[in-house]
Chain A
Amino acid sequence: MAHGTDVDIRVDIDGIVVPASLSGAIDVLLDGHRVWSFNPDRDGTGTNGRRTVAWPKVLRHHLNGVTEVSLVDHVSRDVLGTRTVRFGRGTERVLVVDAEGHPLAVDKGGRLQRDFSNTEDSARDEIMDALERVMQDLTEKCGLQTYLMYGCLLGAVRNGHMIGHDSDADVAYLSAYTHPFDIIRECTTAIRTMKSLGWKVVKMSGANFKVWVPLPDGRRCGIDVFGSFHIGDSFYVTGSLTGTLDRSALLPFGTVTLEGREITAPARPEEVLAFTYGPQWRVPDPAFHFDHDPVDVARMDAWFRAPRRRLRFWHDFYKSPDAARVPTEPSAFAVWAHERMAAAGEAEGHVLDVGAGNGRDAAYFAGRGHRVTALDFTTLGLKQTKALREKAPGQVHVRSMNLEDLRSVLVTGARFAHRAGVRQVYARGLLDTLGPSGRDNLWRFASMVQRRGGETYLEFRTPRSRRDRKHFGVHQRTYVDPDTVAREVAAYGGTVVHRETGRDLARLGSENPHIARIVVRWTP
């Protein structure tokens, strides 16, 4: 704990404690680099004249070692206090950098990103070039009414420059449609067109996507493209912006000046900014984050984001230190499944490891001579066992498949189903992470790819595990009743050919869950 001379500030591994009299956006600098900003009133807790603000989780992972922590008023640039702090047992300087050593900061979405404040002027020009080319292609090639939005619009209207603490460039298009189904189709077409033009595009939801543009310094800049539309009397912009905004505030488009260039913008940008950020939009606030009504978020989730359900959770999990706590040796279930496969004469057959996680069991099956396809919606975890898989005599192919995404399931399922031969489907711990719609898609997938035979191997925690202490603590888990699984499988035409439940079958550290092992056949 360090104490200051000016404003009474305390800093430790749990967070930063400041007087309740402090208000507005405060930048946190470690050894002179801004890593985060907070607003004590909004982000802090506590009474008795003090506010405690916890470190963001992503930053906490980096806090080991010595650093000089400075708190700076974002608007006045007054240094409120500086403390030299040692976190944990480390003796080196604390570094918050990416793999190439570039400084990172927590963005408004809670992720560590590089931001524009560390961007050289030449790169800024490159970003502007890319922004203009993306907007031009969206307008001319995709036929979308495209305009500057969010942070870029805010920066342009405030002072004509990009906002330093922003890490992405933002544009939006005004959809020609007023029904979610048509809006999704329109976005799908735009993604396809942009890809065909050579852009590297990542779909973020049914109505927004990101275009990645490489920069000369080796980094890349993301240009976010947000769908916006009127449905009924409401105006919506993806993420989850919802409210009342007349079309005349947007059309006919005008222009604003950003970094010296004229860029297409809404007809009345101030009105759009007030709609987006509230009446205080003119006051700079890097600690700003949207405080959407949960009802609005739920609506947008259901319309456009259902396939990305839990994607971010698993992506972050495999980036966190917890990933190293996932064992790399095979599970007991994999050994059991292999023995059953071998007894059925499929000792070296093709195994589809669905929800492969870190690939520990995929590596085991390959080690026993199976040809393996490891399927997961984030393949990040599979990096952990890459070396293991490479040493194995059987081959492991890694493929992305998202069980919450019907298109992904249909396309991947059709490709396997078309191939000759029989394959086994193996899913350990998968039902624990899926919701009902994901389960439905799993049955669809398994019944497609096993229409010529093979068995589907399932192992999952039952509801009797709900109150158990877990190896990984708080996690998103589903506890499915084995009877529910049997019912759903039967509805898809499958037959349960093996079923057992109990403990001592799937120990994980000190956790000994009550699990079910179910084997299904989809052919007579």
Chain B
Amino acid sequence: MNNLIARLRRSSGDDGSDAHGRGHGHGPDLAARVAALETAVEENRRLNQRLADVVDVVTELLVPALDRDDAKVAAALANLNKTLNEPDTSAD
């Protein structure tokens, strides 16, 4: 992400390259800037699923974990796995 921000800054002139009016919204600079933005947007979109996964895992585990209820923790883990990781086929 840091690389991405650096690329965006470079192409938007934050590093000083725009001091003479170049590099802002023209030619290859614009193309590079759009490409970097597209990558950043995709990365952000993917965060929805990742955050939802983390929230789901934490939500299911937090209460039994605080209760020190090992059996319920194990059951919650098994349930999390079963709910959303169903393979199309099984070799077993």
Q: Which A residues form the contact surface with B (CB < 8 A)?
A: 179-181, 184-185, 188, 191-192, 195, 201-203, 206, 298-299, 302-304, 306-307, 315, 359, 377-383, 386, 398, 400-402, 405-408, 410-412, 414-415, 437
Structural contact, B48 and A181, CB atoms closer than 8 A? yes
- Choose among B41, B49, B83, B89 the residue that contacts A380 (Cβ–Cβ < 8 A): B89
Closest to B51 in A: A181
CB<8 Å pairs between A and B, sample of 27: A180-B49, A185-B56, A188-B56, A191-B83, A195-B83, A203-B84, A206-B49, A302-B42, A302-B46, A303-B45, A304-B49, A307-B49, A378-B87, A379-B87, A379-B91, A380-B89, A381-B91, A383-B89, A386-B91, A398-B90, A400-B85, A406-B54, A407-B57, A408-B85, A411-B81, A414-B77, A415-B77
Q: Do the beta carbons of A408 and B87 come within 8 Å of each other?
A: no
- A200–chain B nearest beta-carbon distance, Å: 8
Measured CA separation A299–B38 after assembly (Å): 10
In chain B between 53 and 92, which residues have their CB closer than 8 angstroms to a CB of chain A? 53-57, 77, 80-92
In contact, A407 and B90 (Cβ under 8 angstroms)? no
CB of B45 within 8 A of CB of A407, answer: no
B52 interface residue (CB < 8 Å to A) = yes
- Which 10 A-B pairs rank lowest in CB-CB distance, beginning with the nearest? A302-B45, A382-B91, A407-B53, A400-B87, A180-B48, A184-B52, A406-B53, A181-B48, A379-B91, A302-B42
Bound: A415/B77 CA distance, A: 8
CB contacts (< 8 Å) of B87 on chain A: these are 377-379, 400
User: Cα distance A178–B81 when bound, in Å?
Assistant: 27
CB within 8 Å of A: which of B7-50? 41-42, 45-46, 48-50
B40 CB to closest chain A CB (Å) equals 11
CA distance A306 to B43 in the complex (A): 11
List chain A residues, Cβ under 8 A from B51. Answer: 181
CB pair B52–A206 under 8 Å, yes or no, is yes
Residue of B nearest to A302 (CB): B45
* Chain A neighbourhood of B77, CB < 8 A: 411, 414-415
Could you tell me if B45 and A411 are in contact, using CB atoms closer than 8 angstroms?
no
Q: Please indicate the chain B residues that have their CB under 8 angstroms from the CB of A381 in the complex.
A: 91
Q: Is the CB of B45 within 8 A of A180?
A: yes
Other-chain contact of A184, B48, B86, B90 (Cβ < 8 Å): B48
In the complex, how many angstroms separate the beta carbon of A100 from the nearest chain B beta carbon?
A: 16
Nearest neighbor of B43 in chain A, beta-carbon distance: A302
